[in-house]
């Protein structure tokens, strides 16, 4: 039996990845700050409480060594150094990165999207050869780029598979984009405005597909970068319709040709002016990867989790990180006033 240590084991990806590895025959140590256990894990999973910021605690969790260390929560150079310091006791690593490290050929990226003409125009689809942002400490994207750069440079000491995840979805997500449509349906909103003609595409990534990539990479040590997204990138209108179908409602779409109207009317967490779609050819070539789920197939469990978390609570209390990232997503007063303002 081979041993795997999973950091961030009780997060949205970690819960599924631990189960996938354990069922594949790995002896798994699940590490998290709370030391929790998911009800779906096999009994043999060992649970350890440790903060990954504590080098000694992490070293103790690794113990005499492991064949693979899977890291869901690594950011920046400090975490890269921490992982590389364990090279003598860790056979290889699988680390979650993000498609936000990409920038277009004009140097635009997710950090410039709020600037005039600042949204990146990537090739469709984006391959792993696309240029990336300059590493640094300024943002989520630059910290992930720094993590990647330093780990790849140390690949001769610690082979690492970096998985660039898209818009991650599934239960336990702190910022579920699906919340936008789930809450609207729960609130009885039967008309929705969608910017960019409802055609925005921001590639989703199911926790189940990411866990499958982890499962395949774990026994295949190597230094590589792979995209980690679902087999398709549905439009925002298609996502909305799929959520409606799960919830058993019908909603009328009002489509805007361009960006959101004043007050953010028509904007959603998926609303982008040009597509962000990634290529998965390399994962298939290097790991023999095949997706295990499609987006619509995962929605029942995602919607049910969001509904349960919202029950009897203000959405900002249930999802404070979502409010921090996106602001007030449910300004119904502005939306209701918009038709009159448009006519005027």
What tens digit of pLDDT does each residue of 88-117 get? 999 999 999 999 999 999 999 999 998 999
The total domain count for the chain is 1
The reported pLDDT for the residue numbered 263 is 87
309 is written with which tokens? 């978390």
CB atoms within 10 A of CB 274: 14
Q: Is residue 303 part of a domain?
A: yes
Rounded mean pLDDT of the chain?
Answer: 96
The sign of the CA dihedral 62, 65, 70, 76 is positive
Is 56 part of a structural domain of the chain?
no
Q: Give the contacts of 42 (CB within 8 A, at least 6 positions apart).
A: 19, 22, 23
Q: What is the pLDDT of residue 151?
A: 98
> What is the domain-level CATH number for residue 275?
3.40.50.720
Report the share of the chain in percent with pLDDT over 90: 96
Query: Is 18 a member of any domain?
Result: no
**22 in Cβ contact with 39 (< 8 Å):** no
**Is the residue at 79 inside a domain?**
yes
Across the range 127-153, mean pLDDT stands at: 97
**Domain containing 282: what range?**
74-330
Read off the pLDDT of residues 58-82 as tens digits, 9 standing for 90 and up: 999 999 999 999 999 999 999 999 9
Q: Is the pLDDT of residue 340 over 80?
A: no
Strand, helix or coil for residue 120:
coil
Q: Is the pLDDT of residue 136 over 80?
A: yes
pLDDT at residue number 1? 58
Quick one: pLDDT at residue 333? 94
In a domain, residue 91? The reply is yes
In this predicted model, what pLDDT tens digit does every residue of 207-239 receive, in sequence order?
Answer: 999 999 999 999 999 999 999 999 999 999 999
The whole-number average pLDDT for the span 7-11 is: 97
State yes or no: pLDDT of 318 exceeds 80. yes
Report residue 342's pLDDT band, with 50, 70 and 90 as the boundaries: confident
Considering the domain boundaries, does residue 26 fall inside one?
no
The answer to whether the beta carbons of residues 141 and 98 sit under 8 Å apart is: yes
Confidence of residue 339 (pLDDT cuts 50, 70, 90): confident
Question: Does residue 222 form part of some domain?
Answer: yes
* Residue 276, domain member (yes or no): yes
- As a whole number of angstroms, the distance between CA 144 and CA 121 comes to 20
Residue-wise pLDDT for 143-192, tens only, equals: 999 999 999 999 999 999 999 999 999 999 999 999 999 999 999 999 99
**Distance separating alpha carbons of residues 109 and 267, to the nearest angstrom:** 19
User: Structure pTM?
Assistant: 0.96
Kindly state the tokens that stand for 212.
């499958």
| Helix pair angle (179-186, 236-247), 10° resolution | 40
């Amino acid at each position: 039996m081979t041993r795997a240590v999973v950091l961030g084991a009780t997060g949205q990806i970690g819960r599924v990845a631990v189960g996938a590895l354990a069922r594949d025959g790995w002896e798994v140590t699940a590490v998290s700050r709370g030391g929790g256990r998911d009800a779906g894990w096999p009994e043999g999973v060992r649970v350890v409480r440790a903060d990954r910021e504590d080098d000694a605690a992490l070293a103790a969790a690794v113990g005499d060594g492991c064949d693979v260390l899977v890291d869901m929560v690594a950011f920046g150079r400090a975490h890269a150094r921490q992982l590389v310091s364990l090279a003598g006791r860790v056979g290889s690593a699988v680390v979650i990165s993000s498609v936000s490290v990409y920038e277009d050929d004009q140097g635009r990226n997710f950090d410039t999207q709020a600037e005039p003409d600042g949204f990146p125009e990537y090739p469709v689809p984006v391959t792993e050869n696309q240029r990336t942002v300059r590493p640094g400490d300024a943002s989520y994207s630059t910290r992930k780029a720094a993590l990647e750069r330093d780990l790849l440079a140390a690949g001769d000491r610690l082979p690492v598979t970096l998985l660039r995840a898209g818009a991650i979805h599934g239960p336990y997500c702190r910022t579920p984009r699906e919340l936008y449509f789930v809450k609207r349906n729960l609130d009885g909103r039967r008309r929705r405005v969608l910017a960019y003609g409802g055609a925005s595409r921001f590639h989703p990534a199911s926790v189940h597909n990411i866990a499958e990539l982890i499962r395949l990479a774990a026994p295949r040590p190597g230094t590589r970068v792979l995209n980690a997204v679902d087999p398709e990138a549905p439009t925002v209108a298609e996502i909305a319709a799929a959520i409606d179908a799960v919830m058993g409602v019908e909603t009328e779409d009002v489509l805007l040709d361009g960006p959101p109207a004043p007050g953010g009317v028509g904007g959603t967490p998926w609303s982008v002016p040009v597509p962000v779609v990634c290529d998965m050819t390399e994962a298939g070539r290097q790991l023999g990867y095949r997706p295990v789920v499609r987006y619509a197939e995962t929605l029942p469990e995602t919607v049910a989790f969001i509904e349960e978390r919202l029950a009897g609570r203000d959405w900002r209390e249930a999802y404070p990180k979502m409010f921090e990232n996106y602001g007030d997503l449910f300004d119904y007063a502005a939306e209701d006033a918009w038709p009159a303002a448009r006519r005027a």
